[in-house]
Structure 1
Amino acid sequence: MALYVRGAADFAATITGGYMSKVLLIDGNSVAFRAFYATYTALDNFTNHAGVHTNAIFGFDNMLATLLKRDTPDKVLVAFDAGKTTFRTKKYDNYKGGRQKTPEELLEQMPLIKQMLEGYGIQHYELANYEADDIIGTLSHQADLAGDTVTIVTGDRDLTQLATDNVTVAVTIKGVQETESYTPAHMQDKFEVTPKQFIDLKGLMGDTSDNYPGVTKVGEKTAIKLIKEFGSIENLYAHVDELKKSKMKENLINDRDNAFMSKDLATIRLDAPLTIGLDDIDYAGPDVDTLRDFFTEMDMKSALKRLGAVPVAVKQVEYTELTADNLALAMQLKAPVAFELSMLGDNYHTEALRGFMVADANQIFVSTDVSLLGDLEFSMWLGDAARQLTVFDAKRNIVAGSRAGVDLHPDFDALLASYLLDPDDNSTDLGTLARNHDYMQLQADVDVFGKGAKLHMPEKADFCNFLAQKADALLTLRPQLLAELAKQDESALFTDLELPLSTVLAQMEMAGITMDADVLQGMGEQWTGSMNVLEQEIYNEAGREFNLNSPKQLGVVLFEELGLPVIKKTKTGYSTSVDVLEQLKSSHPIIQKILDWRGLAKLQSTYVNGLQKALHADGKIHTRYLQTLTQTGRLSSVDPNMQNIPARGLGKQVRYAFVPSKPDWVIFSSDYSQIELRVLAHISGDKNMQEAFKEDRDIHANTAMKIFGLDSADQVTPDMRRQAKATNFGIVYGISDFGLAANIGITRSQAKAFIAGYFEQYPDVKTYMDKMVAKAREDGYVETLFNRRRYLRDIHSRNFNLRSFAERTAMNTPIQGSAADIIKVAMVRMQQALTEHHLQAKMLLQVHDELIFEAPRSEVAVLAKLVPQVMDSAVKLDVPLKVESNYGDTWYDAK
């Protein structure tokens, strides 16, 4: 007999009788009930085109998708109650008698949930005369005996009695996504009883939800105390006469029958007469077509998008292979033309180009010979700025095209358009993005090329087919996405800002910034020497040597050998995190030395080692800017992250290593001063704040005067200004009194007074914030000054933390997003200005609110006037923008 072995880890299990399965059992009624009420306040927002309610289906589906992805089960069953009449109602006719009638809106969704399960390929089951609990109890018991690992998902804490070493009961909290895992150990910690003794607790306490009585006046605390002492109801009643005379003893004696009956009702059966077994609930994955049809009927777009993770109905697209002999045919393509340069890896600065496609609505050409792009006539045709050119990821194509000798001028980027329509859907894969816009016939890159160790080039025919399918998707999506942009009033944001910016960013990336590796190496050697000195000092303080990189060893030294107070523990021992060490600084001189050593170690690994690995052969760093990552519109930098180079402290010295690329050139830097607060002054219309900026007052000192009740800015101390600054910027991000207190080291009552003083000084800021939250609740989104939209799907959440975060986001997104838009406008106009003035200067980096250039020393005077002028005029606000500039031989000197 042949044995199928899943992997080396399962070999032992195979020898001893077979693979140990992962079993997932779901309490269908309970989860559906929780899912329904999790979105009950927004019930009317969850209906399909036929008016059928879908909120319980939506919640159930989200939970299911999460569990299947996280747990990768081998066997799955969803158990449902067969009806109200069971063996329990025959024993106690008022069992569950107090429950309210199930809402019609939930009842209509129950058969649809079962239909959805069938699409998922998941068995569902119910058994006459028994509850879903008994089905789950029986199957989990069978799986436990077989040595399988079982996860039970329910909203009912009663099922925690089923927990064993192999069985975990995940009880939903606040909806269906968040769960608390009950194991025997957790039961002991939480209730001080075993899972089986939990049944005894229910017998004594009764259950108001299931409407069985228990013992009069015995609550959870009393029940736990009794079961801890006697072990079970049976033993308790065997010794009830020995109890001291009390009202409790009297109640126990009088309610003896109720206690035993309640225990029986609470006991989940492990031997229900099921007609289904573990062999019948194997999970082999969903029926994609059936599930897609179901989600389409329910108008569940997010679920349809998620189906991108499973095989799609690939569209067969005809194409012509492009060769040197038929280039002329390709040049007959009409506008708009789609173009795509394909490669395996992410870094288009270094990755080999593997092929390309060029297409219009009538014909698609595909080639794996990238050298064809070097044909002068073809490259001129393709690079014609007047041509309508549709691409996916304009910046990537511009950089890669430049490497191949083609100067591309895309006028439509499907990636940017989709990102603007919903920044939460920021996938950088065309297949996934296409499905997000209901084009369901293109695979994701990972399905074609693989990933990680399995990354590979497919066969030529498969590769060419895939490029042809991408062409069809791009040409189909272009008019649709343009129409959606117009509908959301984001056409100008796309055409006039984001698309031109992609060209500017491509030019910056290709230019790169020169790094003096010798300077960086010398810096690293200095830091290594300092670390060695600190290491010896730490060992002297500790009285012995140990591994400083081991939190476990460090914890033993600090908290056992040196006897420092324990702040926090983790699963593996004592916490030695930075926040813990900061609290211990005054306890022992070793702490500051450890913090200093860690700081140097981080600088060494992140910057000295990390930057040298990122250095290209031309002696430059060519970072990549992610234009479609953040929900606010802020740019991000990777490979390496140049926005993380420290601006203060010892780490700022790293900037010494960044230098001009030519002799007698300098690094020139300009940055916006307090741009977010200036945007807040404009958006809120607060006259006091606007006046402070118009008069060029120190805004932080201005705030400090009000918070501390001072008469003049001269009375403001540096510490007062620091606290006022934290308040100013904290308010922008919707900070609470608790958060502000933690940030600046004051009491919560002081922080509350600070915030009150702030709003007294700037009353219209509070009005603005309330207005933004109200707008988000009404519209579901907020916008920047440039109509950039951010959706806030948790603004009505019943989960306090999720709702509060959405409210804070509603307050700060128009500020933070508008500031991001302003510097983007400045970048586009700055690149135009450099060209118009025929300057040699190059824009190299954008770091938050700062633009960094390199330029001949002879152009510094021109830049000193031109850059602030362009940046100041990027947008017209009710308060002036302020730009500060400097220059020097290195980036350090220029800041």
Structure 2
Amino acid sequence: MSKKLVLIDGNSIAYRAFFALPLLNNDKGVHTNAVYGFTMMLMKILEEEKPTHMLVAFDAGKTTFRHKTFSEYKGGRQKTPPELSEQFPFIRELLRAYGIAQYELENYEADDIIGTLSLAAEKAGFETKVISGDKDLTQLSSDKTTVNITRKGITDIEEYTPSHIQEKYGLTAKQIIDMKGLMGDSSDNIPGVPGVGEKTAIKLLKEYGTLENLLQSIDQVSGKKLQEKLSEFKDQAVMSKELATITREAPVEVSLDELHYEGFRQEEVFKIFKELGFNSLLEKIGGAAVAGEPIELDEIDFTQTDEIKEEIFTQEGSFYVEVLEDNYHYADIIGFALVNENGSYYLPVKSALESEAFRKWAEDGTKKKTVYDAKRSEVTLRHHGIHLRGAGFDVALASYIINPSESADNLTVIAKQHGFTDVRADEAVYGKGAKRTIPENKVLGEHLVRKAAVLGLLKEKLEKELWENDQFKLFNSLEMPLSKVLAEMEYVGVKLDLGRLAKMGEEIRARLAEIEAKIFESAGEHFNINSPKQLGVILFEKLGLPPVKKTKTGYSTSADVLEKLAPKHQIIEEILQYRQLGKLQSTYIEGLQKVVNKKTEKVHTRFNQALTQTGRLSSTDPNLQNIPIRLEEGRKIRQAFVPSEKDWVMFAADYSQIELRVLAHIAGDEKLIDAFRNDMDIHTKTAMEVFKAGKDEVTSNMRRHAKAVNFGIVYGISDYGLSQSLGITRKEAGEFIDRYLESYPGVKDYMEEIVKDAKQKGYVETLLHRRRYLPEITSRNFNLRSFAERTAMNTPIQGSAADIIKKAMIEMADRLKEEGLKARLLLQVHDELIFEAPESEIEKLIEIVPDVMEHAIELKVPLKVDFSYGPTWYDAK
């Protein structure tokens, strides 16, 4: 069998991926675009190349043996953005999970490792592929080694074989080094000969073969000026060639046999993809569930109770409700299990739902129940006409509060995290995908009773930890009551005006048809606008626009490419608009119609209460927090959300700049506190401070810059992140951040102190004692440590804001009952609460909603709430 070695330039591909993709975050706030792009490249390589051997080489540090020759080698390079630096540990972790060797060598670059190993592979008869974004590596090309260079992005590849180099430059692979010696390389700060570019260098090398031959024949070179340059910078050219030469004799201590690739470790890759939020990639490799054989378990004694009598119920017990589908609003209950001092019981669904004794116990708030996911249990039973009360301890919420970074989406995982291993994974009991089935009662009963039993064991352990962490109040007074509020909101749902939604769909289709006609007119012919291939031909061949990026299948017509071309032809604006409206139509207009309950004409979004590390709620099926509102057509989708009763209206109340107010309180910065107490526009105030301008001198652009840095500080923005959002240089962005911190010394002190505190404790806390553990805060790895430091700064702010709105929701639900109002809380979207209410109650809501929300917690600055109302959600904004 032939041997094939793939060598990847790790740093280069990571950089390419980072700058090719927009900044992405997972739900824990970790930037993931470089890891995502790197992973896509890796999967493509494994699929297409099918290597037998593989290695990813990394640079070991900033200083190499080349710096002895030229101290300014690679000088002037901008510092790696922290958003990229923090991703390298994840890339390395990913490679370990994939079983791919990785290597770095002190005093040498990744290029030298690749050069040395590719030569060894050639001698051993391997076919070798080198993958990089750096053209320096093309010098390694030979009959046995192909060098693949990424052009734009990460998937657009140019293959450098000896014949391709000959065709492109008219040179051999070895002459690439001579060419670099002459023309230099600005990216590596290799000087070369001033005034000699690629064209001149190629011409000279075609004539003289090597740099050495050329320098011995300077007097024969045509052009006096060129002769002078070559004479003057002779030594510099020789040095530049030396710097550009990849050593193929580096002291690499890894053998080719050690690079043998045996395939990825499925469970480890699943785990990383899940942690990073790479759901589409997870599906690609069949990762819906953790692989592996089910653990053989001992028998557990339980009673199958078909005739349910009051005697089996006690004052306290563990109660488990099994629902297999994610969207439990539309799912059937599979079964119930109950474990208490009387025994262990499996309650078949039909028997339980028809039993008056079961209903009476379930609805009795004095009978305390330990449950898994109280909200899910309440909502599913409500759909069957039973109002679950007395859910006093939720294992899912307790586990989440104790450590939100240990993401667990089922009871088995939580049990194993806390040392209880005798619960089988659902996949082992039910199967998965098309093979999913409900087993016979003995197997199902044992599985559910085992889950109920572990709930009681977990309660004892988790309750103790909550008290030790000073988090029992957060659990008992915030998250548990909130689960009941959220359950009510989910069950009630939000009414959709399906007629209006359909009409919007028609209007968007009409707009799409108009834009389509304009596009065809601009193009001079009909074609499939959604086909990148056909669109590429129209734009770059027929209309003669300059191609920005090419892929293997043709021209790239991605959004970033089209935005660059926008000023060059009116068709581009039309295509961008066509795509935006098309996405709106498919994702939101049609998407909402798919998830609406046809009987009630309502959507029942699910609020994820135990997901994010900051404590914020998120929503799914549908995600009502992400309806695009920048586009007017997107905003108009909110017109389809209407009250569920006649003569009712929608009422929206929104916290104004809550995170900045929390920052002012936590940091204790006098200028920020003073600005909020005097009801100043905080962005104008910041612009005045940073630009040293009077209030009347602040321009809209100055305020825009101030707004970006105000909110950026809350999210731990870097100079790179700010430069991207404002379209300014990193240097300008860095200076802007420095001036901001000079203006608000309290904020600067807070940032320094919170990091010190986190290093001592290992975690940070919100105002209500929600914790986020940061084990990497003392890491020797700079990238891991710097990410943890930024997280330490922003978590108390974001998390406290999340806690405040949760507290407001609980108090709001209580106040509505207390006042005897019919008004209902329907949605929470970021810092906003949306209600529906009779028109006759609006005056009362105007009085009580701001009152409750603004006094949910007392800060050094006032909380401020804006509100509005109208016949639709759109009008209530």
- Shared fold by TM > 0.5? yes
Query: Is 1:758 aligned to residue 740 of structure 2?
Result: yes
Partner Cα distance (1:732, 1:265) in 2: 46
What corresponds to 1:624 in structure 2? 606
Q: Which residue of 1 aligns with 2:372?
A: 392
Counterpart for residue 810 of structure 1: 792
Partner amino acid, structure 1, of 2:804: I
Q: Deviations over 1:185-217 (max 9, x none)?
A: 599999999xx999x99xxxxxxxxxxxxxxxx
Deviation at 1:761, TM superposition (A): 2.9
For residues 123-522 of structure 1, the aligned pairs below 5 Å read: 309-311=291-293, 313-332=295-314, 335=316, 337-360=317-340, 363-408=343-388, 409-522=390-503
Measured after TM superposition, the shift of residue 703 of structure 1 is 1.7
The 3 A distance-change label for structure 1 pair 564 and 411 is: same
Match of 1:90 in 2: none
Q: Residue 241 and residue 835 in structure 1: after superposition, are their counterparts in 2 closer, same or farther (change >3 A)?
A: closer
Which residue number in structure 1 is paired with residue 646 of structure 2?
Answer: 663
Residue 677 of structure 1: aligned partner: 660
Letter paired with 1:624: R
Could you tell which deviates more after superposition, 722-731 or 489-498?
Answer: 722-731
Quick one: which of 620, 627, 630 aligns to 1:645?
627
Q: Deviations over 1:796-854 (max 9, x none)?
A: 55666554433332222111111111000001111111122221111100011111111
State which of 692, 702, 705 in structure 1 corresponds to 2:688.
705
Over 3 Å counting, the alpha-carbon distance change for 1:139 and 1:476 in structure 2 is: farther
CA distance in 2, matches of 1:798, 1:747: 30
Q: Contact 1:374/1:404 (CA < 8 Å) preserved in 2?
A: no
Q: In structure 1, what is the Cα distance between the partners aligned to 2:50 and 2:565?
A: 45
Q: Is the contact made by 2:372 and 2:396 (CA closer than 8 Å) also made in structure 1?
A: yes
User: How far apart are the structure 2 equivalents of 1:79 and 1:536?
Assistant: 53
Q: 1:633 aligns to what SS in structure 2? A: coil
1:614 to 580, 595, 608: 595
Following superposition, the deviation at residue 141 of structure 1 comes to: 6.8
1:743 to 718, 725, 734: 725
Question: Following superposition of structure 1 onto structure 2, how do residues 785-796 of structure 1 map, counting pairs within 5 Å?
Answer: 785-796=767-778
TM-score (norm 1): 0.70
SS in 2 for 1:411: strand
Instruction: For 1:812-891, list aligned pairs within 5 A.
Output: 812-891=794-873
Question: What secondary structure, in the 3-state scheme, does the structure 1 residue paired with 2:329 have?
Answer: coil
Secondary structure of the structure 2 residue equivalent to 1:640: coil
Q: Which residues of 2 match residues 3-14 of structure 1 at below 5 A?
A: none
C-alpha distance in 1, partners of 2:646/2:603? 18
* Identity fraction in percent: 44
Q: Would the alpha carbon gap of residues 357 and 141 (structure 1) be closer, same or farther in structure 2, given more than 3 Å must change?
A: farther
Summarize the Cα distance change of 1:377–1:150 in structure 2 as closer, same or farther, 3 Å threshold: farther
Offset at residue 448 of structure 1 (A): 2.5
Deviation of the 1:641 alpha carbon: 0.6
5+ residue gaps, structure 1: 1-19, 35-60, 81-95, 100-132, 171-178, 202-225, 250-261, 289-305
| CA offsets 1:25-61 (integer angstroms, 9 cap, x no match) | 5889x99x99xxxxxxxxxxxxxxxxxxxxxxxxxx9
Change (3 A) 1:353 1:189: farther
SS, match of residue 545 in structure 2: coil
The 8 Å contact of residues 505 and 589 in structure 2, kept in 1 or not, is answered as: yes
Question: In 2, are the aligned partners of 1:510 and 1:622 still within 8 Å (CA)?
Answer: yes
Contact 2:481 2:810 in 1 (8 A): yes
- Distance (whole Å) between structure 2 residues aligned to residue 874 and residue 823 of structure 1: 8
Deviates more, 1:801-810 or 1:504-513: 801-810
TM-score, normalization by structure 2 = 0.71
Counterparts of 1:11-26 in structure 2, within 5 Å, are none
Whether the aligned pair in 1 keeps the contact of 2:146 and 2:159 (CA below 8 Å) is: no
- Inter-partner Cα distance in structure 1 for 2:340 and 2:635: 51
Residue 774 of structure 1: aligned partner:
756
- Counterpart for residue 3 of structure 1: none
Q: Equivalents in 2 of 1:850, 1:817: separation in Å?
A: 16
Residues 591, 773 of structure 1: CA spacing in aligned structure 2 closer, same or farther, 3 A cutoff?
farther
Instruction: Report the equivalent of 1:552.
Output: 533
**1:558 partner letter:** L
Q: 1:544 to 1:798 in 2, by over 3 A?
A: farther
In 2: Cα distance, 1:361 partner to 1:138 partner: 69
Aligned to 2:650, the other structure's residue is in SS state strand
Q: Could you report, residue by residue, the CA deviation over 1:347-379 in whole angstroms, capped at 9, with x for unpaired residues?
A: 111111111111136621113334413422222
Which fold has the larger relative contact order, with Cα–Cα distance below 8 Å and residues 6 or more apart in sequence?
Answer: 2
Q: CA deviation at 1:242?
A: 14
* Structure 1 contact 427–433 (Cα < 8 Å) conserved: yes
SS at match of 1:881: coil
Alignment of 1:556-575 (within 5 A): 556-570=537-551, 572-575=553-556
Aligned to 1:253: none
Distance in 1, matches of 2:645 and 2:157, equals 65
Q: Secondary structure at the match of 1:365?
A: strand
In the alignment, is the contact (CA less than 8 A) between 1:535 and 1:597 conserved in 2? yes
- The answer to whether the 8 Å contact 2:305/2:345 transfers is no
Q: Are 1:720 and 2:702 an aligned pair?
A: yes
Q: Give the secondary structure class of the aligned counterpart of 2:300.
A: coil
Number of aligned residues: 734
Q: What is the deviation of 1:765?
A: 1.2
Distance 1:643 1:244 in 2: 71
Once the two structures are TM-superposed, the CA of residue 542 in structure 1 deviates from its matched residue by: 2.1
**1:594 maps onto 2:583 in alignment:** no
Counterparts in 2 of 1:528 and 1:552: CA distance versus 1, 3 Å: same
Helix, strand or coil at the partner of 2:391: coil
Q: Structure 2: how far apart are the matches of 1:623 and 1:881?
A: 28
Q: Deviations over 1:69-117 (max 9, x none)?
A: 657xxxx9x999xxxxxxxxxxxxxxx9x99xxxxxxxxxxxxxxxxxx
Deviation at 1:729, TM superposition (A): 1.0
RMSD over equivalenced CA pairs, Å: 5.3
Alpha carbons of 1:183 and 1:552: their partners in 2 closer, same or farther (altered >3 Å)?
closer
Assess if the C-alpha contact under 8 Å between 2:651 and 2:870 holds in 1.
Answer: yes
Deviates more, 1:347-356 or 1:485-494: 485-494
Q: 1:490 to 1:551 in 2, by over 3 A?
A: farther
Structure 1 Cα separation of the partners of residues 734 and 410 of structure 2: 46
Asked if 1 retains the 8 angstrom alpha-carbon contact of 2:665 and 2:860, the reply is yes
